[in-house]
Structure 1
Amino acid sequence: MRERVRESVAAMGENGTGGPGMEGWPRRRALAAGLAGLSAFPARGQEAWPSGPIRIVVPFAPGGSTDAVARLAAPGLQQGLGVPVVVENRSGAAGSLGADAVAKARPDGQTWLLTFDSHAVLPALLPRLPFDLRRDLLPVTLIGGAPYVVACKPDKPYRGIADVVSAAKARPGGVSFASTGNGTIGHLAMVQLGERVGVRLQHLPYRGGGLAVNDAVAGHVEMMIGSAALLAPQVAGGALRPLLQLGPERLPALAEVPTAEESGFPGLRAEAWWAVFAPAGTSAPVVARFHEALSAALREERAARQMTDAQQARLVLAGPDELARFLDREIETWGKVVRENGVQAD
């Protein structure tokens, strides 16, 4: 084990970044993780990991897609790791309250963060964030993603996004849309759409996907934007009519719904994503084992079918390096939208 740690440290190279997958993630963290990893191979008489119930913190209210992904994975994780797995919802401040709780948790492998795309927007949205996104949380698994979809109740007078734009021009500020929270990728995508056509859409942020869906189905808002995973049951059941999808191509389940690019918005793409992070200092072998157990849980036939068919999500199940690279790109892309449009936290 100590030989593997020495090899890992040597592989980081002279730039101290840990290779191409660790840009922006300090060398000292990689070194600390490697050395701390020795503790995951206990001496005789020491307790091995996991030593008790595992807590997965979801920083959003129950009923949303992030909560659904966590609860879908929990049974397989419990079986694979041999300990109880508890999903804990700690919503608020665009997901930062739950993330902060995990960032400050003991790095013993018993607490994990399963979060949503708004995680990458936090540094721009909350300049006084009580934790550092890169320093205090370790990337573990990029679970996957799903395109955002704009939808409305079927009795609304919209058949496509062109109808929404026309109504917004006729009633400036009078067309509302709900999102799963202020500063989420869905919210920012709608800001970009409004800019492209010169209209202002009234944003109604919710503290979770379930609450937003309920009001959209009830007709309390003109429309909502949410991930295909979140809206799939309501769209399939006819409770919501999809108007636009923001992925690179049409989903098979939404074959009649145009993408934003097909609708005259080149380059406008937005995909929701889910990922897992651990408190900084969590040992590398523990992170690796959790990643393997989570991946196995979501590759299981029933879980995979639920993700890809029922929730229209694309499974990625990439490890720490790829998640680190992905997060850096998301922080840059959507942070720019926040800053240029003066988007603020609730």
Structure 2
Amino acid sequence: MITRRAALVAGTGALAAPALAQGSAGTIRIIVPFPPGGSVDTVSRLMQPHLQASLGANILVENRGGASGALGTAQAARAAPDGQTFLMVFDTHATNPSLIPNLGFDTRRDLAPVWLLGTAPNMLLVHRNRPWTSLAQVLDAARAQPDRISCGTIGNGSLAHLGMVLAQRAGRFSISHVPYRGGGPLATAAMAGETDLYAATGTIFVEHLRQGVLRPLAVLGPRRRAHLPDVPTMAEAGLPGVEAEAFWGMLAPSGTPAPIIARMEEACRRATEVPEVRERLTGIMGIEMGNSSGAEFGRFLDRQITTWARVIGENNIRPD
């Protein structure tokens, strides 16, 4: 029996793929499964006008936050595979399958990888009103008073959160985790100094760093960041094996015709080659460009999902 979804794919494959491949008028929505102000929203809106120029279509960035990105992702997974809906994801896309028992969709089966923008290591930062100037000082204080120091992240199960779980195991200390609901809310909280520490990518803390509101203590990655050469990695600071690199990428509903996916992948690649876009992404936001194909992104996601499922299971991490 031919399913409704299969029939829809067959129909759109004949109509939508040639139209998009040639650059057609219409509206394409990019679902951002987080509130405005975070890195996924920033990346999507930065690329928006350039995607419009390449595709000859109106690009609508639609914020659908909630459940660490799962609510907006579910909406994309259920959308018709007609080339009118795409999804920009962040690292929680790889942790949600293990963290949220009833997602309402299958991460691998219901979404097709389109393009991987790139990666960036998470960082540990301290608010300027707190007394610590090094990770060693934070560790001493946390060991002296377990759970007294607070650390904000974009949400429970985010890679920054999981990276800090690994750090606590490696360093034998305990801090209090404060999950926010996305990068925008976390950035606002950081300006106000609501928590002591912040673990996230530097992409949402550009102004905080420029103004000296936050001081970086360590990088949760395999190497130092080029524009912050004096900030050590966790391993250099005495906590080996603590790495958590964020990523940004685009997906489409499963069944979206290959020509449509290929056209969007090429449009994304072109958008990131615009000098001012690339400077913002790499020089300011600190993203290490990957510009990987959908097939490469799919393999990358498989590795990420497997790796972080193990960390979540071993540490009994639960959703908010």
Fold shared by both chains (TM-score > 0.5) = yes
Residues 1:135 and 2:138 are matched in the alignment: no
TM-score computed with the length of structure 1 as normaliser: 0.86
Maintained 8 Å contact 1:213/1:224: no
Maintained 8 Å contact 1:123/1:133: yes
Ranges in structure 1 where 5+ consecutive residues have no aligned partner = 1-28
1:82-110, CA deviations, whole angstroms, 9 ceiling, x for partnerless residues? Answer: 11111111111111000000000111111
Do the aligned partners of residues 47 and 150 (structure 1) sit closer, same or farther apart at CA in structure 2, a change above 3 Å counting? Answer: closer
Deviates more, 1:225-234 or 1:72-81: 225-234
TM-score computed with the length of structure 2 as normaliser: 0.93
- Which residue in the other structure is 1:17 paired with? none
Shift of 1:48: 6.9
Identity of aligned residues (%): 42
Structure 2 Cα separation of the partners of residues 96 and 306 of structure 1: 27
What is the aligned-residue RMSD (CA, Å)? 2.1
- Trace 1:263-274 onto structure 2 (pairs within 5 A): 263-274=237-248
Residues 1:342 and 2:316 are matched in the alignment: yes
Equivalent residue of 1:123, what SS? helix
Amino acid paired to 1:223: L
Equivalent residue of 1:252, what SS? coil
Shift of 1:42: 4.9
Maintained 8 Å contact 1:147/1:245: yes
Structure 2 Cα separation of the partners of residues 101 and 324 of structure 1: 20
Maintained 8 Å contact 2:16/2:82: no
Do the aligned partners of residues 36 and 320 (structure 1) sit closer, same or farther apart at CA in structure 2, a change above 3 Å counting? Answer: farther
Residues 1:242 and 2:240 are matched in the alignment: no
Amino acid paired to 2:30: I
Amino acid paired to 2:122: Y
Amino acid paired to 2:259: P
**2:307 is matched with which residue: 302, 323, 333?**
333
- Which residue in the other structure is 1:261 paired with? 235
**1:196 is matched with which residue: 163, 170, 176?**
170
Maintained 8 Å contact 2:17/2:257: no
Residues 1:77 and 2:47 are matched in the alignment: no
Amino acid paired to 2:180: Y
Structure 1 stretches of 4+ with a deviation exceeding 6 A read 32-36, 46-49
- Trace 1:139-288 onto structure 2 (pairs within 5 A): 139-288=113-262
Structure 2 Cα separation of the partners of residues 287 and 201 of structure 1: 43
Amino acid paired to 2:159: I
Deviates more, 1:76-85 or 1:225-234: 225-234
Maintained 8 Å contact 2:170/2:240: no
Structure 2 Cα separation of the partners of residues 305 and 48 of structure 1: 29
Shift of 1:236: 2.2
1:185-214, CA deviations, whole angstroms, 9 ceiling, x for partnerless residues? Answer: 000000110111222211111111121122
Equivalent residue of 1:343, what SS? coil
- Which residue in the other structure is 1:89 paired with? 63
Shift of 1:50: 4.5
Maintained 8 Å contact 1:143/1:316: yes
The size of the alignment, in residue pairs, is 314
Structure 2 Cα separation of the partners of residues 304 and 121 of structure 1: 28
Structure 1 Cα separation of the partners of residues 230 and 17 of structure 2: 54
Do the aligned partners of residues 220 and 47 (structure 1) sit closer, same or farther apart at CA in structure 2, a change above 3 Å counting? Answer: closer
1:237-270, CA deviations, whole angstroms, 9 ceiling, x for partnerless residues? Answer: 2111111111221112211111111112222211
Structure 2 Cα separation of the partners of residues 77 and 260 of structure 1: 37
Equivalent residue of 2:104, what SS? coil
Structure 2 Cα separation of the partners of residues 101 and 36 of structure 1: 19
Structure 1 Cα separation of the partners of residues 304 and 21 of structure 2: 38
Structure 1 Cα separation of the partners of residues 199 and 302 of structure 2: 24
Structure 2 Cα separation of the partners of residues 342 and 274 of structure 1: 26
- Which residue in the other structure is 1:310 paired with? 284
1:266-289, CA deviations, whole angstroms, 9 ceiling, x for partnerless residues? Answer: 222111110100001100000000
Structure 2 Cα separation of the partners of residues 93 and 263 of structure 1: 33
